[in-house]
């Protein structure tokens, strides 16, 4: 999992030598969950099964649609008693900021896994050939000691993917060593065992607060553009540009409004469900 363009499909492509669909344009590429098998006789099962996911921050789909797709897959497989040996979370070491969306997506990912599954997460950095080694190393340290700290304190590992097959297997090594230690992740327990709707899950709630923040930011920008447009100007190009930006922001806000409505849930419903599930009683309402 990870943001769009972080190299998820590239990793699987190099590890399995299957054509996974790597996107080279500026648009998000993977649009569905993809399963790729690699025969690996050293494992008792004989296969490593890779699951490629569409990335967050997609050009065409909202993060909630992506989360919905991933959560449906996770629930269906969990119902069939299929558990994951591990999750690779991808991060471009070329990113020079951990702000806004990448940070919120990381927090959402943490909620999706739950603390008990952190030990099965490999925080995988990519694009090392695109960055000065020293700069990359400093960023890696900052990630380890700050942004990834809570995950690493609970035994997540970090590995560099250096764009070749050997390196892909180095990244996978900790998971292959304990391939049979599979854990359900929080989202699976919440959706299947506790029968939560996606919007009631910890990941769904984290997504909701992220969208809420984004809406506030966009409303702010919209207000500023509106003020700018009120000022008389002879520059037609600037005015046209502002109008176009205004329309675009309105469309984006509408879409986010839909996402928020899809996720909205009162806290009392969530509390009730968790009490019901803990006490093992059923309540009809
Ligand atoms: N230089 C360099 N390019 C890379 C590396 N990993 C991936 N890329 C390139 O980055 C681009 C995006 O890679 P993908 O593997 O499609 O990324 P993705 O995470 O699957 O993206 P989505 O499918 O949109 O979620 C492609 O052009 C890759 O060739 C890397 O380690 N180094
Ligand atoms: Mg992809």
- Give 50's strand partners: 36
Ligand 1: residue whose CA is nearest its atom 29: 24
Task: Write down the domain spans for the chain.
Answer: 8-183, 194-279
Identify the three-state secondary structure at position 105. helix
| Helices (H) then strands (E): counts for the chain | 10, 5
Ligand 1: residue whose CA is nearest its atom 14: 7
Convert 106-137 to b/e letters by CB count within 10 Å (16 or more is b).
Answer: bbbbbbbbbeebbbbbbbbbbbbeebeeeebe
For the stretch 124-182, pLDDT in tens is 999 999 999 999 999 999 999 999 999 999 999 999 999 999 999 999 999 998 887 88
Ligand 1: residue whose CA is nearest its atom 2: 127
Chain-centroid distance of CA 136 in Å reads: 22
Q: Profile the chain (285 residues) by mean pLDDT over runs of 10 residues.
A: 94 93 84 92 86 87 88 95 94 88 86 93 97 96 96 96 97 90 92 91 86 81 85 79 84 76 58 51 41
Query: Which pair of structure tokens corresponds to residue 10?
Result: 């590239």
Q: Where does 8-183 sit in CATH, by number? A: 3.40.50.300
Residues bordering ligand 2, an ion, CB closer than 5 Å: 8-9, 29-30
Distance in Å, CA 70 to ligand 2 centroid: 14
Is residue 31 in contact with ligand 1, taking CB distance under 6 Å?
A: no
Which among 89, 66, 70 is positioned nearest to 78, based on CA atoms? 70
Query: Measured between alpha carbons, how far is residue 78 from residues 38, 178, 198, 220, 248 in Å?
Result: 21, 19, 15, 42, 40
Which pLDDT does position 240 carry in this prediction? 85
For the stretch 201-222, pLDDT in tens is 999 888 877 777 778 888 888 8
Ligand nearest to the CA of residue 54, numbered in listed order: 1
């Amino acid at each position: 999992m990870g943001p769009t363009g972080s190299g998820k499909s590239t990793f699987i492509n190099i590890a399995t030598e299957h054509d996974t669909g790597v996107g080279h344009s500026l648009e998000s590429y993977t649009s569905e969950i993809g399963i790729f098998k690699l025969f690996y006789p050293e494992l008792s099962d004989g296969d490593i099964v890779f699951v490629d996911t569409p990335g967050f921050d997609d050009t065409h789909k909202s993060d909630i649609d992506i989360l919905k797709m991933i959560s449906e897959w996770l629930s269906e497989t969990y119902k069939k008693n299929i558990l994951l040996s591990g999750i690779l979370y991808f991060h471009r070491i070329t990113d020079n900021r951990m702000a806004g969306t990448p940070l919120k997506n990381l927090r959402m990912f943490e909620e999706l896994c739950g603390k008990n599954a952190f030990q099965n997460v490999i925080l995988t950095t990519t694009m090392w050939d695109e960055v000065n080694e020293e700069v990359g190393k400093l960023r890696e340290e900052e990630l380890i000691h700050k942004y990834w700290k809570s995950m690493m304190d609970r035994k997540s590992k970090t590995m560099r993917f250096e764009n070749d097959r050997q390196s892909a297997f180095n990244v996978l090594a900790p998971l292959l060593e304990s391939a049979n230690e599979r854990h359900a992740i929080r989202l699976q327990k919440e959706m299947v065992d506790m029968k939560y709707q996606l919007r009631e899950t910890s990941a769904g709630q984290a997504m909701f607060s992220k969208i809420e923040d984004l809406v506030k930011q966009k409303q702010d920008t919209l207000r500023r553009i509106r003020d700018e447009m009120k000022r008389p100007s002879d520059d037609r190009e600037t005015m046209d540009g502002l109008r176009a930006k205004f329309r675009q922001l309105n469309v984006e806000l509408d879409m986010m409004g839909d996402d928020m409505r899809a996720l909205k849930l009162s806290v009392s419903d969530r509390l009730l469900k968790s009490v019901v599930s803990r006490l093992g009683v059923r309540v009809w309402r």
